Homo-oligomer: A and B are copies of this chain.
C-alpha cells in the first residue's frame, strides 16, 4: 500500500500510537490523576477520541479553530490554553452562547480587566484559569505574586468564574536527562499547588489545578493536589522526546513518506521529494544536540537505516546523508525508492499536512484522517 500513496504524505502507525496512549494512561492511573489531552498535536477527532480520559472528559486546544472543530464533533469541555487576546473575547462569547464549555487562561491584571469589561458587554460570565509560571520560559504569574490575587479579584467581581490554575513546564523540553525532567515536574506541581492555595485562601473555590507537558506527565512521580494533567505530543512521540529519554525512537508513531528523486555524487547524498514544507523547519534539539537535521530516515517498513538523516531541506527537496559524513550507497537507494522520515517535533511536522494515513495493518488499505487547521 505504501508504494502507491501520493508523496510526500504523513503516516501514523496505529499500534505504536495506541501503545503510547496506554503508557500515558497507565502512568496517570497509577497516580490517580486525570488526563486532559492537548489536541494541538493530532488536530483530528478520531485520534482525539482515543486520547480522552473519562475521568476528565475534557480536552485542551491551542486555537479557537481547534475548539470549533472538536466542539462540532462532540467535545464540549475545552480549555483554550493560550493567554486570551482581548480581541478574541467577542468570538469566545458567541461560542459559549452556543453551548461550548470553554475555559480561558490569562496572566495579567490588565487582561483580567479586559475580560471583566467583555463579561459585562457581552453578558457572558467567562470561565478562567490563571496561568502560573514555573520556569521563566513563556507566560504566567509567579505563584507568589500580588498580580495573581489582583486578577482573580477583578474576575470574581465581574461575575466570572475563577476555576483554577494552569502551569506548563515548557522548560522540560530543554532538560538534559530524565532526572532533570523529574525536577522540573516537581517545580511544575509545586507552583500550581502554591498558587491554588493562595487563591483558595483568598476565597476562590477552585475546580481545576492543571499541570502538564509530555515529559513531566510521563516522568512526574507526585501529582498530589493536582486535578488534571495536560499532554499531547505523547500520542505520536518524536525525536525530541526520544532525545530526552521520554520514549524510544521505536515508539515514534508519525513519519513522512517520501521518494528518492535524485543522487548527489559529489555530496554522497540522496534527494527526496519531502522538503521543509512536508517536514517543517523545526530543527529539534539542534544546535544543542544531538543534531538530527530535519529528521531521521527509516526504510519503507520503518526499519533502521543507522544515522541516515535529512541534512538539508528546501521547500520541496530534502537532502539525505549519513550523519557521519560517509557517502550513501546509491545502489541501495535507486531513484524511486521510498523511505520514511521520523520527525524532530510531531506538532510541527503534522502541522504541515492536511491529514494522515493511518496504518492499522500492513495488509489493509490505510485510512485517511483529516486534520483541522488555522485559527
Interface residues of A (CB under 8 A from B): 3-4, 6-9, 40, 62-63, 82-88, 91, 107-108, 110-111, 114, 136, 138-139, 170, 259-264, 266-267, 271, 273, 276-278, 280-283, 287, 312, 314-317, 319, 334-336, 338, 347-348, 351-354, 373-375
When all copies of this chain in the complex are counted, the total is 2
A277 — which chain B residues lie within 8 A by C-beta?
A: 62-63, 351
Decide if B87 touches A338 in the complex (CB within 8 Å).
yes
Known: A6-B91, A281-B281. A82 touches B336 (CB 8 A): no
Instruction: Give the distance to chain B from A265, nearest Cβ to Cβ, in Å.
Output: 9
- At the interface, is chain A mostly helix, strand, loop or mixed? loop
> Nearest chain-B residue to A271 (Cβ)?
B139
Decide if A7 touches B85 in the complex (CB within 8 Å).
yes
Decide if B138 touches A314 in the complex (CB within 8 Å).
yes
A335 — which chain B residues lie within 8 A by C-beta?
A: 86, 108, 110-111, 114
Decide if B62 touches A281 in the complex (CB within 8 Å).
no
Instruction: Give the distance to chain B from A248, nearest Cβ to Cβ, in Å.
Output: 24
Interface centre among A108, A373, A375 (most CB of B within 10 A): A375
Decide if A271 touches B138 in the complex (CB within 8 Å).
yes
The residue from B108, B316, B334, B338 contacting A63, defined by CB atoms under 8 A apart: B316
Decide if B138 touches A317 in the complex (CB within 8 Å).
yes
Decide if A375 touches B9 in the complex (CB within 8 Å).
yes
| Alpha-carbon gap, A110 to B334, bound state (A) | 8
Known: A281-B281, A354-B374. 7 other contacts (CB 8 A): A6-B88, A82-B316, A84-B261, A85-B336, A138-B317, A139-B261, A278-B375
A336 — which chain B residues lie within 8 A by C-beta?
A: 85-87, 110, 114
Instruction: Give the distance to chain B from A67, nearest Cβ to Cβ, in Å.
Output: 12
A312 — which chain B residues lie within 8 A by C-beta?
A: 138
Known: A110-B335, A335-B110. A375 touches B315 (CB 8 A): no
A373 — which chain B residues lie within 8 A by C-beta?
A: 354
Pick 9 A–B contacts, CB within 8 A, sort by A: A7-B87, A83-B317, A87-B259, A87-B336, A107-B262, A138-B317, A280-B281, A351-B352, A354-B374
A62 — which chain B residues lie within 8 A by C-beta?
A: 277, 315-316
| Alpha-carbon gap, A243 to B351, bound state (A) | 28
Decide if A314 touches B263 in the complex (CB within 8 Å).
no
The residue from B3, B6, B110 contacting A375, defined by CB atoms under 8 A apart: B6
Closest 10 CB pairs of A and B: A281-B281, A86-B336, A83-B261, A85-B259, A110-B335, A62-B316, A82-B316, A85-B273, A281-B282, A85-B261
